[in-house]
């Protein structure tokens, strides 16, 4: 009994930007990190992968990014294999930690991908400055990372991921280490960025409210073995704001996610 038979979540069919078909990932230790996962993502979506530790959400993201390779199944990113997509620099990746280079100023950090990718030198500075303005950090261009708070550092890393204008943004619990207040602010900012830039975002999180607030669809994942439990569409109207969190519909969807997690014994998620 495979996952794809019991729960055929794939919805957007014709023009999927990301297509995951029956993908499994077994680590050399024997851990089944992901079992028969299938998922279709259309351009312009904001997808959250939610679930407790060990449910394979980070694994799935790393598979899409070609940072690891699946044991079986097939993945397409923008019609290409993950490796081709990575080599054609099709996506930006934001990690759990800001991973800024301490020897570079904020501006130089945002310029890093442009330097690596051979963008004409004259464009580096103006583009990096534009990205910093997008995340509201233009005043901190000359600071070193250690002079910034954790939330600001993570914003720099988002600006860096956007600097080379990829269609796709992979975000692996980017706000996981931040306090609730900073996190809610950054959620709002991220939604604004998503609307303004029209990117497709795949976002890994531990937090139900964060997933409901941000997503167009929520992929609920459960552990041991890691698998996709269900996919829940989020029909909250755009643009969303602080009041969105107070609506009945918000709580209904949050409850739906919580129940799906409980069904898959995945209930050690942070509220």
The site for other proteins (CB under 8 A) is made up of 65, 67, 86-87, 89, 91-93, 95-97, 99, 101-105, 112-113, 115-117, 144, 146
Q: How far apart are CA 86 and CA 188, in angstroms?
A: 28
Task: Retrieve residue 91's tokens.
Answer: 């996506």
Q: How far is the CB of 204 from other proteins (least distance, A)?
A: 14
For other proteins, which is the closer residue by CB, 115 or 252? Answer: 115
Q: Nearest 5 degrees, angle CA 69-CA 95-CA 107? A: 130
Q: How far is the CB of 170 from other proteins (least distance, A)?
A: 8
Q: How far is the CB of 167 from other proteins (least distance, A)?
A: 14
Q: How far apart are CA 269 and CA 51, in angstroms?
A: 7
Map tokens 């997690």 to a residue: 261
In which region does residue 79 sit, left (phi positive, over 0), alpha (psi from -120 to 50) or beta (all else)?
A: left
Q: How far apart are CA 64 and CA 270, in angstroms?
A: 25
For other proteins, which is the closer residue by CB, 86 or 192? Answer: 86
Q: How far is the CB of 269 from other proteins (least distance, A)?
A: 23
Using an 8 Å Cβ cutoff, are 94 and 172 in contact? yes
Q: How far is the CB of 213 from other proteins (least distance, A)?
A: 26
Q: How far apart are CA 202 and CA 111, in angstroms?
A: 23
CA nearest to 261, candidates 213, 215, 212: 212
For other proteins, which is the closer residue by CB, 174 or 225? Answer: 174
Q: How far is the CB of 209 from other proteins (least distance, A)?
A: 26
For other proteins, which is the closer residue by CB, 205 or 230? Answer: 205
For other proteins, which is the closer residue by CB, 11 or 96? Answer: 96
For other proteins, which is the closer residue by CB, 140 or 250? Answer: 140
Using an 8 Å Cβ cutoff, are 118 and 102 in contact? no
């Amino acid at each position: 009994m495979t996952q794809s038979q019991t729960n055929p979540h794939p919805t957007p069919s014709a023009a999927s930007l990301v297509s995951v078909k029956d993908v499994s990932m077994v680590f050399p230790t024997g851990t089944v990190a992901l079992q028969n996962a299938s998922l279709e993502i259309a351009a312009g979506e904001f997808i959250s992968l939610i679930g407790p530790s060990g449910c394979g959400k980070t694994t799935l993201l790393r598979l899409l990014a070609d940072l690891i390779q699946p044991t079986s199944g097939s993945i397409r990113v923008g019609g290409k294999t993950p490796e081709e997509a990575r080599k054609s620099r099709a996506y930006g990746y934001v990690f759990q930690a800001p991973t800024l280079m301490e020897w570079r100023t904020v501006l130089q950090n945002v310029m890093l991908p442009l330097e690596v990718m051979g963008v004409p030198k004259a464009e580096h500075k103006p583009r990096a400055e534009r990205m910093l303005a997008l995340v509201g950090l233009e005043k901190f261009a000359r600071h070193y990372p250690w002079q910034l708070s954790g939330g600001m550092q993570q914003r720099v890393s988002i600006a860096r991921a956007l600097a080379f204008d990829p269609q796709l943004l992979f975000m692996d619990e980017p706000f996981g280490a931040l306090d609730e207040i900073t996190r809610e602010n950054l959620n709002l900012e991220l939604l604004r960025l998503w609307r303004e830039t029209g990117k497709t975002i795949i976002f890994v999180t531990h937090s139900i409210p964060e997933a409901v607030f941000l997503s167009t669809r929520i992929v609920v994942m459960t552990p041991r073995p890691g698998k996709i439990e269900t996919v829940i569409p989020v029909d909250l109207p755009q643009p969303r704001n602080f009041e969105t969190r107070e609506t009945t519909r918000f709580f209904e969807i949050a409850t739906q996610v919580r129940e799906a997690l409980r069904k898959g014994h995945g209930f050690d998620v942070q509220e």
